[in-house]
Structures are given as C-alpha cells and as structure tokens.
C-alpha cells in the first residue's frame, strides 16, 4: 500500500492542509491538496496545493515568488489532515502581503486586522 492510500481523502479527493512556519510554529495558511499535489510536494520539497477556485494545481509562490520549502509532512491521528512544517520564502504567505493568512481577530464582535501588510500586493502580483 502506498503512503497516499493511508490518507482519508474527502469525497472530492482532497485533504485539508495546514502550513506552519518552522522554528516558531506560527500557522501561516490553510489550503487543500489532492493526491497529485501531495505527491509533488513530497517529491519536489516545495508546497504544491490544489486550487478549488481555479480547479488546478497551484505551486505556492508561482506568481509571488513566496514559495514554501517543506521541512516535514505530518498526518494527524485520524488520517484526514496534513500538517506541513515549512520555511516561508520572503516571509509572506498571504496574498494580502502579510506573514500569515490569519491576520484578522474577533474584537468586540468585529473582525479587525491585527497584522500589518509587509508588502503591497499590487507590487507582488502584476495581475491585480
């Protein structure tokens, strides 16, 4: 049996993935992978996700240059969530130009940005 067969995939053939910064443990993003993207991630050593909105493989950093070097790939006890320990190249994981996609915090019943933009997304993504 392949290591990929030990994963409990969703009916759509996906598995949720948490990307965590090596060294400090900060969760920088959440995404999805299919069998092909997970196999490519293990083979290439850089995160490859499955984009549900674009319905295609998405190599993290393919446009921005902010790739994620994979240090380790871990599977949770239920076999249905992947944890990637990564080194975030450029220090920016979020398309908004922030370190983490989790930059909003619930404060007094409203979502507030609690993390500053490191780099203007318009300078990162030429298509915006």
**Is 25 part of a structural domain of the chain?**
yes
**Is 120 part of a structural domain of the chain?**
no
Residue 8: give its domain's CATH number. 3.10.20.810
Residue 23 sits in which domain range?
3-91
Each residue's pLDDT tens digit, 65-122 = 999 999 999 999 999 999 999 999 999 999 999 999 999 999 999 999 999 999 988 8
Contact (CB, 8 A) for 100 and 93 = yes
**Is 31 part of a structural domain of the chain?**
yes
Q: What pTM value is reported for the model?
A: 0.91
The string of DSSP letters for 22-39 reads TTT--EEEEEEE-HHHHH
| 85 CB neighbour count, 10 Å cutoff | 18
**Is 13 part of a structural domain of the chain?**
yes
Contact (CB, 8 A) for 110 and 85 = no
**Is 36 part of a structural domain of the chain?**
yes
User: Which strands, in side-by-side order, build the sheet including 27-33?
Assistant: 27-33, 15-21, 82-88, 68-75
**Is 118 part of a structural domain of the chain?**
no
Q: How many domains does the chain fold into? A: 1
Task: Write the CA distances from 74 to 1, 20, 97, 113, 121, integer angstroms.
Answer: 18, 11, 27, 30, 31
Each residue's pLDDT tens digit, 19-76 = 999 999 999 999 999 999 999 999 999 999 999 999 999 999 988 999 999 999 999 9
């Amino acid at each position: 049996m392949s290591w990929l067969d030990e994963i409990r995939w969703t009916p759509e053939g996906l598995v949720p993935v948490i990307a965590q910064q090596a060294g400090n443990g900060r969760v920088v993003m959440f995404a999805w992978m299919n069998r092909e993207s997970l196999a490519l991630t293990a083979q290439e050593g850089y995160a490859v996700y499955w984009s549900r909105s674009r319905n295609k493989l998405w190599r993290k950093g393919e446009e921005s240059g902010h790739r994620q070097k994979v240090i380790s790939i871990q599977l949770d006890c239920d076999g249905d969530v992947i944890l990637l320990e990564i080194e975030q190249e450029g220090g920016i994981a979020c398309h908004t130009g922030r370190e983490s996609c989790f930059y909003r915090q619930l404060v007094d019943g409203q979502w507030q940005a609690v993390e500053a933009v490191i780099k203007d997304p318009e300078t990162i993504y030429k298509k915006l």
